[in-house]
Structure 1
Amino acid sequence: MVSTSDASGGSGGAVDGRAARWQSHREERRRELIKSARKAVHALGSDASMEDIAAAAGTSKSVFYRYFGDKAGLQQAVGEVVLSQMQRRIQEAAQSAQTPREGLLAMVSAYLQMAETSPNVYAFVTAYSAGEPGTANPGMAAAGALGHFFEEVRDMIARPMRTHLGTGKEAVIGYWPTAAIGLVRNAGEQWLGTPASPAKPSPEAMARQITAWLCVGIAPELETVDPKTQPLSDPNP
């Protein structure tokens, strides 16, 4: 005699189906909470509390704690979405460039434009990189989405420059992309935080200035050849 469970493929099939539906429901609910949190931070500011975010989302902060653990967990989750979108936009911008400098300008422009779209959200997902006062593991969240984002952008910057510079420049390529990321991020964040005024550069002007700093330097006319030293990239000192 065949049991009901045997005929239906075993009782485990029904359990697995319920588990899959519950998991799908949790994932959809998590996406909804991330979207709501992003909207709340955009409107309220990067220092919005979990209680403020939950109220704007029309739910309780206990729900956010249940899905994300704490505020750092929520920042990490929102960051994964926001930084993934920024990464795709930067990559798309670079693909249409004809030269390494054009590609660099396109990437810097895309980065500034995306950050400027919502400075509050950008600050929310990057502010925890140094850790917040009172957190048990300051800076740990930065090893996730934020660290991955800047690693990917660094590689995007390095590839065309390596091709352009050719052999014998590995010492430059080994350090320059990391320095470039630091310059772009710090200058960009200072620009974002600067109040609007006639003296504040437009996004286009700021992108061109940063690109010039990266490709040419701040004062190329001051460059001199010191006979006692040679560039790191020179294979024949």
Structure 2
Amino acid sequence: METTTDGRATRWHAHNAERRRELVASALRAIRKHGPGVGMDDIAAEAGTSKPVIYRHFRDRAGLYQAVVDWVNDFIWNSLGLEGSGDVDPRELVRQLADTYLTLVEKDPEIYQFVITRPPGDTPVDDPVLSITTRIGNQVSDLFRHWLRAQGLDEEPANIWGHGVVGFTWATADRWILTKLRRPRADVVGYIDQLFAPAFDAQRSK
């Protein structure tokens, strides 16, 4: 009997997780269609369901918002294609990171604007920019640390490099938006590479 109960609970958990993914996908479509100020009614209509159903899975708008932020974090990290890779060249890592961030801004501006704007309400919500940059920064720092270790170099710069590169890239993305994406994405990525490349070259020359 206990095994049956556990099996039923596992299937229910898997069903709920899949339903949450579907609702997040619907929210993303609604954001792209209606913009960052999309309402819950629009999201529910896109999902073909009702607001109470959405609240059952996410509690409130803030909960759904956080799920979208998590999706963006996963999108950025997965787009880098570096999961389990410890041998990435640091310059290539910076270029890939910058290009992934700026691609999101260029091709999914509504999603980007939605994520950087915290929803109103009484439910506390983590700062969206800090949430994403901290998580990605920790992951990038680990890759820098592995590279430094493989080179027989001091690992101390890894944390500063990781969080510095991510924070700088996010700030660059914001500035790029203000200029209405005046420079091509490839140029902006190249400028970021030019700025950070000397740090890696200096480490190699030690």
TM-score, L = length of structure 2: 0.76
| Structure 1 SS opposite 2:117 | helix
Correspondence for 2:138 = 151
Q: What amino acid sits opposite 2:60 in the alignment?
A: D
Correspondence for 2:126 = 139
| Aligned pairs for 1:1-237 within 5 A | 10=1, 12-92=2-82, 99-128=89-118, 132-139=119-126, 147-157=134-144, 159-160=146-147, 166-167=153-154, 170=156, 172-196=157-181, 200-216=182-198
| RMSD between superposed Cα atoms in Å | 3.5
CA distance in 2, matches of 1:30, 1:98: 33
Structure of larger gyration radius: 1
Counting aligned pairs with the same residue, the percent is 30
How far residue 20 of structure 1 moved from its aligned partner, in angstroms, is: 3.5
Do the aligned partners of residues 206 and 146 (structure 1) sit closer, same or farther apart at CA in structure 2, a change above 3 Å counting?
closer
Deviations 1:185-226 (A, max 9, x none): 111132145425xxx111111111122223359xxxxxxxxx
Deviations 1:129-175 (A, max 9, x none): xxx554442436777666323321343345436766934x83x5453
CA distance in 1, matches of 2:113, 2:144: 23
How far residue 74 of structure 1 moved from its aligned partner, in angstroms, is: 0.9
Do the aligned partners of residues 114 and 165 (structure 1) sit closer, same or farther apart at CA in structure 2, a change above 3 Å counting?
farther
Do the aligned partners of residues 163 and 29 (structure 1) sit closer, same or farther apart at CA in structure 2, a change above 3 Å counting?
same
| Structure 1 SS opposite 2:169 | helix
How far residue 68 of structure 1 moved from its aligned partner, in angstroms, is: 0.6
Task: Tell me if the contact between 1:33 and 1:64 (Cα under 8 Å) persists in the aligned partners.
Answer: yes
Task: Tell me if the contact between 1:91 and 1:156 (Cα under 8 Å) persists in the aligned partners.
Answer: no
Q: What amino acid sits opposite 2:56 in the alignment?
A: R
- What is the count of residue pairs matched by the alignment? 200
Which sections of structure 1, spanning at least 5 residues, go unmatched?
1-9, 218-232
Task: Tell me if the contact between 2:117 and 2:128 (Cα under 8 Å) persists in the aligned partners.
Answer: no
TM-score, L = length of structure 1: 0.67
Task: Tell me if the contact between 2:105 and 2:112 (Cα under 8 Å) persists in the aligned partners.
Answer: yes
CA distance in 2, matches of 1:117, 1:68: 27
CA distance in 2, matches of 1:181, 1:149: 7
| Structure 2 SS opposite 1:127 | coil
| Structure 2 SS opposite 1:139 | coil
CA distance in 2, matches of 1:161, 1:113: 28
